[in-house]
Amino acid sequence: MSTADCPLLPVIGGDLQVPLVDGSETRYVNLDYAASSPALEAVARHVTDVLPLYASVHRGAGYASQVSTAAYEHARRVVGDFVGARQDDLVIFTRNTTDSINLLASVVPGETVVLDIEHHANLLPWVKTNARIVKAGDTLEETLKRVDAELASRPAALLAVTGASNVTGETLPLRRLATIAHRHGTRLAVDGAQLVPHRRVSIAFDGVDYLAFSGHKTYAPFGSGVLVGRRDWLDFGEPYLRGGGAVTQVGLDSATWRTGPARHEAGSPNVIGVTALARAIQELSALDIREWESHEHALRDRLVDGIGGLPGVRIHRIFPDAADAVGVVSFTVDGVDSRLLATALSAEAGIGVRDGKFCAHPLLERLGITGPAVRASFGVGSRLSDVDLLISELSRFLAEGPRWTYEFVDGHWVAIDDARPRPDWAPELEADQGYYGCAA
């Protein structure tokens, strides 16, 4: 039996039954891990154990507060060890990857060089400050040469790159990028939102100076994020949040700010989110690395081979010479509205994929995608049968069209006479609620 026939780790909702538009039910096939991954079952159990002892941290004498403080600070060590942090690196907890990159952008003492293929989270914070944008080449090798030339042209404080594309899954060679950056006196920051949930990362080994990633993409969807990296900029930059916990002394016209993580973690932190992330990381750490990568490669190969031969299907890539890609595959179908396809896959087969521009508008424009695309993504809770169902349903859709009738309303497709029930705590959305941001 292939390691991909079964999930590597059990996730909440792995056997969830969802209603279909025809009145039947089926197991939900979650192929939207790149947006938010499901919680590991071990994480959910851990949260249940932690909640009775949940309390505000750092300044409480009560037993629950002391336990919560210990768990919160232990999570810092777990995260640092998992990503191969150096002894003097800071581990700062934030809301998500976007928050982490904005924090870093607030302390960088100079210009930042970025590629034009980035997720908006690793583009917009730099554009607002001192950004120099490098247009990626037709190949990865050409792109590395362009980055080298840009850094050689004049000094830059930081080179900020994605670890793995949220559109194509392709990874960048971090050690080579670090070598290029450091040769020119530049530091390297990595948006690890899509990399960390799929690959073991060592920032010390690879020479990465800063790494940002999210709990909600790393099987702990309780709203935590991380920034790990060198402390000098972070210790002396302006505090990212101003409030309680970030100071040692406050007057009406003055404040003495802390150094270390506390400087940027003002207010009551997300103890549950942080400890959930630490528990998820412990589960991922216990995986055999070869088995983990083999599982994902098997799923990706099956999907690419299965849909790549279907008529009109175009699987999108940035670089023909990219050596590795994680479990993210985006595609379009000639003459088919991606939004309609995604809606029909959900309503008629219980398959959850994402459609849109994935908060990477410049990249999709570069790839020649004028409208939305479809993205299928998977992880440790996925199985080959999930991929096979997507392949078979896509093939059937292309041959026969949708089984149901849909109409285009307020920028999205809806099933006519859709009677699928919802929990009473999640009522129907009104008008265009929930259909904004990076979808168009």
- Give whole-number Cα distances, 375 to 339, 357, 371, 380, 385, in Å: 11, 9, 13, 17, 17
Strand ranges (DSSP E) for 196-300?
Answer: 210-214, 225-229, 247-251, 254-257
Q: Is 417 left (phi over 0), alpha (psi -120 to 50) or beta?
A: left
CA–CA dist 297, 302 (Å, integer): 8
Residue type, 321: D
Q: Is 6 marked active-site?
A: no
Strand order in the sheet with 373-377: 313-315, 328-333, 373-377, 354-356
Q: Are 185 and 158 in contact (CB under 8 A)?
A: no
- Selecting among 107, 284, 359, 398, the annotated active-site residue is 359
Sign of CA dihedral 12, 352, 380, 98: negative
Q: Are 71 and 63 in contact (CB under 8 A)?
A: no
Q: What is the distance between the terminal CA atoms of the chain, rounded to a whole angstrom?
A: 41
User: Which among 296, 371, 388 has a CA at the least distance from the CA of 331?
Assistant: 371
CA geometry: angle 397, 402, 407, nearest 5 deg:
140
Cβ of 100: how many Cβ atoms within 10 Å?
Answer: 31
User: Which among 181, 272, 149, 170 has a CA at the least distance from the CA of 221?
Assistant: 272
Residues with a known catalytic role? 359
